[in-house]
Amino acid sequence: MLRRRLSALALATAATALVGTCASTYVNPYYDPAKPHHTPVGFKNNYPHPPKGNFWKWRYEQWRDGLPRPPANGYVFPVAAPQTAYLRANRSEATVTWIGHATLLVQVGGLNILTDPHFGERASPVSFAGPKRLAPLPIRLEDLPRIDLVVISHNHYDHLDEGTVVRLAAQPGGPPLFVVPLGMKPWLADVGVQNVAELDWWESRQVGGAEVHLVPAQHWSARTPWDDNRMLWGGFVILHPELRFFYSGDTGYSRDFEDIGRRFGGFDLAAIPIGAYEPRWFMGPQHVNPEEAVRIHRDVRARRSVGVHWGTFELTDEPLDEPPAKLAEARARAGLAPEDFFVMHHGETRRVAAGAAR
């Protein structure tokens, strides 16, 4: 435990030279030379893209230009009154509830599913620094129904929160099943989370009446300066007779989404990130902007999409209230109706039917 805490603290302070020194001795235990996204020292994306930009250059530009700037006109985070009693009792209707950032509660066929659950105050390796939750947490973890399934797209701190997964593993009635990409199971075991299934891209697992598939995304992984890309990343497809759901995870734009659309033939609902996209020279390969999110919506053949990964933690240079406005512009250019690709208030619940959300 102490070693893990020290490693997390080092993430915020260690020199980048340490990464190359430590990574050179690592051998990927999952390595399969027949799979192009596997490498002897970790994993990589499917399609060519620009390399990651210089992190310290970005931080210097933020300091120089006074970024990120606060939202204009006294922006107030919209928070809906949570329907906790309904959610706890619901065993028949398909619903989606936005908790904030990339955390959604999806209910279908009596299953309660969380995507990238984060109920902590900071997206950070330490409790006293790092991106702080700016939108209030609309629903407490203990007020949710018992969770059956947790899907975690990758190991960045705004998507994999240690305190949250430990609390979920200890929930009354037994732990949920955590379905995760390759390489994450040992980390979860280290914090006491045991009910875990690891998947490679295009692999699947049956959970209740649903099929859960891990699918590619264009991103990367790291929690310390010396574990770059040792854990896989991805998105999830959840197929149930009452709902075909796609969650992209964090991603830059790539041909992966055309592949997903062809393979699965479309979705009733997709959850696609619309925030954390500026500056493009740095964020472009790893985070889509709203215009690219609309392209993903079309590539995966989603009937409806909900925008996530915005308005909760201040991670990048755009104002927190900008993504919905940019989404509306991109949606209009693409000839989509507002209900085709919508955003939600923190804590809002929508009933979801095949091909519609209301």
Q: What residue segments make up the domains of the chain, in order of their start?
A: 2-50+57-67+75-357
Listed in sequence order, the residues at least 6 apart from 256 whose beta carbon sits closer than 8 Å to its beta carbon are: 46, 47, 215, 216, 217, 218
Q: What is the mean pLDDT of residues 49-68?
A: 95
Of 249, 132, 141, the closest CA to residue 199 belongs to 249
Spacing of C-alpha 291 from chain mean position: 18
Dist CA 260 CA 168 (whole Å): 30
Helix (H) or strand (E) holding 273: strand 267-273
Query: What is the average pLDDT value for the chain, to the nearest integer?
Result: 92
At 257, is the secondary structure helix, strand, or coil? Answer: helix
Length of the chain: 358
User: Residue 44 carries which side chain, given as an amino acid letter?
Assistant: K
pLDDT grade for 354, boundaries at 50, 70 and 90: low
Classify domain 2-50+57-67+75-357 by CATH number: 3.60.15.10
Q: What is the pLDDT of residue 24?
A: 60
Contact status, residue 209 vs residue 232, Cβ threshold 8 Å? no
pLDDT grade for 26, boundaries at 50, 70 and 90: very high
* pLDDT above 90: residue 220: yes
The model's pTM = 0.92
* pLDDT above 50: residue 23: no
Q: What is the pLDDT of residue 71?
A: 82
User: Using one digit for the tens of pLDDT, what is the confidence trace for 59-90?
Assistant: 999 999 999 988 877 777 889 999 999 999 99
Angle between helices 290-299 and 322-333 (to 10 degrees): 50
* pLDDT above 90: residue 342: yes
User: Using one digit for the tens of pLDDT, what is the confidence trace for 133-173?
Assistant: 999 999 999 999 999 999 999 999 999 999 999 999 999 99
What's the maximum distance between 2 C-alpha atoms anywhere in the chain? 54
Q: What is the mean pLDDT of residues 42-71?
A: 94
Q: What is the mean pLDDT of residues 309-327?
A: 95
